[in-house]
Amino acid sequence: MEEKQKGGISVNTENIFPVIKKWLYSEKDIFLREIVSNATDAVTKLKRLASLGQYSADEAPYRIDVRLDKAAKTLTVEDNGIGMTEEELKKYICSIALSGAVDFLQKYEGEGDSAKNGIIGHFGLGFYSAFMVSDTVEIHTRSYTNAPAVHWTCTADGDYEIEASDKSSRGTEVILHISDDEAAYLESGKLREMLHKYCAFMPVEIYFDDGSEKKEGESEQPINDTTPLWQRSPSECTVEEYKDFYRKVFSDFREPLFQIHINADYPLNFKGILYFPRIANNYESIEGQVKLYYNQVFVADNIKEVIPEYLLMLKGVLDCPELPLNVSRSYLQTNSYVAKVSAHIVKKVADKLVSMYREDREQYEKVWDDIKTFVEYACMRGEKFWNRTKDVILLKLTDGSHVTVKDYLESAKETHENTVYYTTDRSLQAQYIAMFEAQGIRVVEFDNMLDTQFAAMVESQIAGVKFIRVDADVASVLKGEGTAVEDQALTELFRKVSGNEKLTVRFEALKDGDIPVILNVSEESRRMEDMMRMYRMTGGEDAMPAFPVDTALIVNTASPLIKQIGEMLQTNSEKAESLSAYLYRLAVLSQRRFNADEMQAFLKDSYHILSELSK
């Protein structure tokens, strides 16, 4: 071949229309959104011309009418917007993927964009979605310039006819002749549901007429809210309005905990309202729902590209007219802009928590238990989120009060510097808690497995800080002034009654002489045990030891009972063994629940001791 050849790709209508009918949109319901969006654009364009002084607006209010005629098998969408001349109809309707919206912006806005002017159209394909459910589509249109009205008719095979129309009013009327196999779109309930989903917040009033008789005195009401709450300034919105909006959008009649109103301008341009929902219990699904809008047009129910996965429990709406969407306006094209929006949302959520803490500490503490799991998880997954919120992260104490990590560590300097003592079971670990609180040490209450993982994260972020469970070791503040002396005979005795010849037995002189023995499991061993338990829950081996390897029985040499058992070994070894076995089981009970054999032995010993006391 000697010369370079050039050409243009040609597309045959009979080939492209079947593709449009089947593959243009992921859901057929979207056709109604597209047709109503076009009507909205027609009104928006005319409003813009009026603002530029190129059109003298009349007093008739702008509106869009959606009419169902079940007998005629038609669905009509009519607007009183800019309309089209015959030339414009041929240019924009008879040419696939030529966007009238883009042309309008280039003509009247220079390099302006749809995000700033409320223009919805983008790809020039939306109108053809009508053929997904119709075998014939008609258009009656009259331009605002008073050019002759035009009537356009097209069948599903792409053949069209143009003739004069008798339409006398400005605007465009699109009539869809619903095909027999799509008769579901002739049902009033179905159409109302679609309008509520896709058009509930479009900026032009939309009226739906399903052909039913109106009740006497019933006034005509639009089906949409043209000025949704997110379009207003936060200072103009009341708490009740936020709650009403939440109930309306999500049909959730539980009040949200609080909301975050986003009104980003430069360099990002998006608005929205995000809510922290109220979760009934730990077993309820915590996946939220953030609805995406594009210039007040519904796009998607859940947008995981914009919301970080660790904040997916949020509910709300985002109107992002600059987000890059694909042709069907259903999916995001991931790029740096999406990442910036996501980062801004993270910042706004963190800033909201900080402002709540500083401005209304009492209310912040009231909702903390509900949001704690979300916040901890977000801190664990996002270092920037942790850095923004670390000073307002609360720890719940066993007395029900709350304190920040920073304040807890500050108060611990005199007695247990850089150490946070916590409990995971107030009932099971009550004895240990009492020992610490008797020395003025506050104990933090962890109530789910995420807490301990969060604690490990805090340890990695704050140098020198250590979280230790109250039963992990004998803190120095719990020890008395006396010197503990090891007793080999008692060591062998407790190893015998425990059934563990390798049991670590240590002797300490505690301040509290009423406690004869306690069991300690080192923090490292217990955390390993927790990991193994999680592994078992996800399908690992079922076998678990009764105690981790690093378990020690602490014998309190300051206890009169221990002294008595030591003396009793010389005179009545059987009784000494019985008492020490009972004490060991009590120590086990403060660590974990008995298995069946242990419970039976414990009850037997209890009855025996009661019998001896009754003599």
Residue 19 sits in a domain whose CATH number is 3.30.565.10
pTM score: 0.80
* 45/189 same-domain check: yes
Is residue 543 in some structural domain?
Answer: no
Q: How far is CA 103 from CA 100, 158, 423, in A?
A: 5, 24, 66
DSSP annotation string for 418-460:
TEEEEES-TTTTHHHHHHHHHTT---EE--SHHHHHHHHHHHH
Does the structure show a pLDDT above 60 at 461? yes
Of 153, 174, 209, which residue constitutes the final position of a domain?
A: 209
Q: Which CATH number do you get for residue 450? A: 3.40.50.11260
Residue 528 lies in a domain: no
What end-to-end distance do the CA atoms of the chain give, in Å?
118
Task: Check pLDDT > 90 for residue 86.
Answer: yes
Same structural domain, 245 and 132:
no
Q: Confirm if 295 and 319 have CB atoms less than 8 A apart.
A: yes
User: Is residue 282 very low, low, confident or very high in pLDDT (cuts 50, 70, 90)?
Assistant: low
* pLDDT of 540 over the 60 cut: no
Predicted pLDDT at 147: 94
Per the domain annotation, does 461 fall within a domain? yes
pLDDT of 21 reads 62
Query: Is a pLDDT exceeding 80 seen at residue 579?
Result: yes
Q: Are 511 and 479 in contact (CB under 8 A)?
A: yes
pLDDT band at 119 (very low <50, low <70, confident <90, very high): very low
Residue 387, pLDDT > 70, answer yes
* Segment 433-455 mean pLDDT: 91
- Name the most confidently modeled range: 113-117, 288-292, 313-317: 313-317
Q: Out of 78-82, 128-132, 330-334, pick the least confident.
A: 330-334
357 and 427 together in one domain? no
pLDDT tops 80 at residue 327? no
Sheet of 551-556, strands arranged across: 504-508, 551-556, 517-521
Q: How confident is the model at residue 100 (pLDDT cuts 50, 70, 90)?
A: very low
Average pLDDT rounded to a whole number, residues 172-182: 95
pLDDT of residue 201: 95
State residue 190 phi and psi, 5-degree precision: -60, -45
Residue 376 lies in a domain: no
Check residues 388 and 533 and name the one with the higher pLDDT.
388
Residues 431 and 451 grouped into a single domain: yes
Same domain, 183 and 141: yes
- Residue 386 pLDDT > 90: yes
> According to the model, what pLDDT value does residue 27 have?
80
pLDDT confidence tier of residue 240, bands split at 50, 70 and 90: very high
**What is the domain-level CATH number for residue 504?**
1.20.120
Residues 167 and 63 in one domain: yes
Among 276-290, 357-371, 498-512, top mean pLDDT goes to 357-371
- Which of 209, 238, 258 is the endpoint of a domain? 209
Q: Which of 53-57, 112-116, 362-366, 595-599 has the highest mean pLDDT?
A: 362-366
Task: Answer yes or no: is pLDDT of 8 > 60.
Answer: no
Alpha-carbon distances, residue 516 vs 326, 505, 559, 563, 579 (angstroms): 71, 13, 5, 9, 11
Same structural domain for residues 200 and 280? no
Neighbours of 249 (CB within 10 A): 19
Q: Are residues 283 and 304 in the same domain?
A: yes
Task: State whether 305 and 451 are in the same domain.
Answer: no
Q: Which has the minimum average pLDDT: 168-182, 317-331, 539-553?
A: 539-553
Residue 585 domain-assigned? yes
Position 149 pLDDT exceeds 80: yes
Range with the lowest mean pLDDT among 49-53, 72-76, 92-96?
92-96
- The reply to whether 381 falls in a domain is no
The reply to whether 66 and 22 lie within a common domain is yes
- 36 token code pair: 């109503």
Domain count along the chain: 4
Q: Band the pLDDT of 62: cuts 50, 70, 90.
A: very high
Three-class SS state of 549 = coil
C-alpha to C-alpha distances, 285 to 55, 333, 338, 526, 550, nearest whole angstrom: 53, 28, 26, 29, 37
Domain end: 209, 237, 255, which one? 209
The answer as to whether 373 is a domain residue is no
pLDDT of 470: 92
Residue 110: per-residue pLDDT: 53
Helices (H) and strands (E) in the chain, counts: 18, 20
Are 62 and 185 in the same domain?
yes
Q: What is the mean pLDDT of the chain?
A: 84
Whole-number Å distance between alpha carbons of 184 and 176: 14
Q: What average pLDDT does the segment 84-103 reach?
A: 71
Within a domain: 315: yes
**CATH number of the domain to which 342 belongs:** 3.30.230.80
Residues 454 and 495 in one domain: no
Whole-number Å distance between alpha carbons of 93 and 38 = 12
- pLDDT at 99 (0 to 100): 43
Give the domain range for residue 401: 393-476
Hey, what are 163's tokens? 């003739």
pLDDT exceeds 90 at position 299: no
